[in-house]
Amino acid sequence: MRGVLAIALLLTACVSPSRTETPQINDITVFAGSSLTDAFARAGDDFTKANTRVRFIFNFGSSSTLATQITNGAPADVFASADESNMQKVLDAGLAKSPRTFASNELQIAVPTGNPKRIAGLADLARPDIVLVLAAPTVPAGKYALEALAKAGVTARPVSQEVDVRAVLNKVSLGEADAGIVYVTDVRSAAARVAGVAIPDQQQVVARYPIAVVKGAKDPQLAGQFIDYLTSPEGQKILAGFGFSRP
């Protein structure tokens, strides 16, 4: 046992010769909107390459669920929301301050591969033969979808209001729904199973993603470094690779 410890210490000494304290893994708990699932997993990997003593714990879900969890005392270090109003809930509760916008996202219509129902735009979603699924109006993706439909002057009747945007994507990729309104990044992440139909600029809704360190974070400095990293050129490059636009 003592031998193992000695080797471990020796290894650490080799890796970081300037540090003399024992190696300590710092957990950083990130609550992030479910549309960030893939991008943050990659960004976390990349960040830990440069900061080997960091371990990420991700909690992905609808931003509204996450905001409820945080305002009820969930131990988050960083909160990344898919909209400004859920960040505002956390700010209003005094649990975070000075959020930064680190990315933006646009909407797209997700359809099964090959677009069997030949959906060309939002207007087609009102067709009676289309089984449409949206996110619930209480979660950002659902709210944005309704805004886009309103801009297009389309009255659509979804058969389901799913709990988050990933559930919408799943219903389309399983073939249960003919169409769903999701983020551009969601379509890209499921490119093998769904195709995207673009929404023109005049009907488009841009989702801005704010991020902030949560009050009571275990290591606010480290949490801040992760946010700096996301807004740095390297972080932005990773986010762009998943389809996010610049803030």
Partner 1 sequence: MSSERPPALLAALALVGVAFFILPLAGLLARAPWQSALGELTTPEALTALQLSFVISLAATALALLLGVPLAWIYARVPFRGRDLIRALTTLPMILPPVVGGVALLFAFGRRGLFGQALDAIGIRLPFTTFGAILAATFVAMPLLVLTVEAGLRSMDRRYEDAARTLGAGRWVVFRRVTLPLIAPSVFAGAVLCWARALGEFGATITFAGNLPGTTQTLPLAVYIALETRPEVAIMLSVVLLAVSLAILVAMRDRYLRAF
Find the shortest distance in angstroms from Cβ 131 to partner 1.
7
217 counts as binding partner 1 under rule CB under 8 A: no
Find the shortest distance in angstroms from Cβ 68 to partner 1.
5
Q: Do residues 75 and 29 make contact, with C-beta atoms less than 8 angstroms apart?
A: yes
110 counts as binding partner 1 under rule CB under 8 A: no
CB atoms within 10 A of CB 102: 23
106 counts as binding partner 1 under rule CB under 8 A: no
DSSP secondary structure of 190-210: TTTTEEEEE--GGG--PEEEE
Find the shortest distance in angstroms from Cβ 163 to partner 1.
7
Choices 29-37, 99-107, 130-138, 198-206 (CB under 8 A): range interacting with partner 1? 130-138
Of 8, 57, 159, 191, the residue at the interface with partner 1 (CB under 8 A) is 159
Diameter over CA atoms, the chain = 72
Q: Which amino acid is at 206?
A: V
Q: Which residue has the tokens 């960004």?
A: 43
Backbone angles phi, psi at 169, to 5 degrees: -60, -40
Instruction: Specify the residue, 76 or 227, whose C-beta has the smaller distance to partner 1.
Output: 76
160 counts as binding partner 1 under rule CB under 8 A: yes
Distances 120 to 124, 125, 171 between C-alpha atoms, Å: 7, 9, 19
Helix (H) or strand (E) holding 182: strand 179-183
Choices 10-18, 113-121, 168-176, 224-232 (CB under 8 A): range interacting with partner 1? 168-176
Choices 6-14, 132-140, 224-232, 238-246 (CB under 8 A): range interacting with partner 1? 132-140
List residues bridging with 108 in a β-sheet: 182, 198
81 counts as binding partner 1 under rule CB under 8 A: no
Distances 77 to 3, 50, 101, 185 between C-alpha atoms, Å: 36, 19, 17, 24
Size of the residue set binding partner 1 (CB under 8 A): 20
List the x/- string, 28-47, binding to partner 1 by CB under 8 A. Answer: --------------------
88 counts as binding partner 1 under rule CB under 8 A: no
Site residues (vs partner 1, CB under 8 A)? 62, 64-65, 67-68, 131, 133, 136, 138-139, 158-163, 171, 174-176
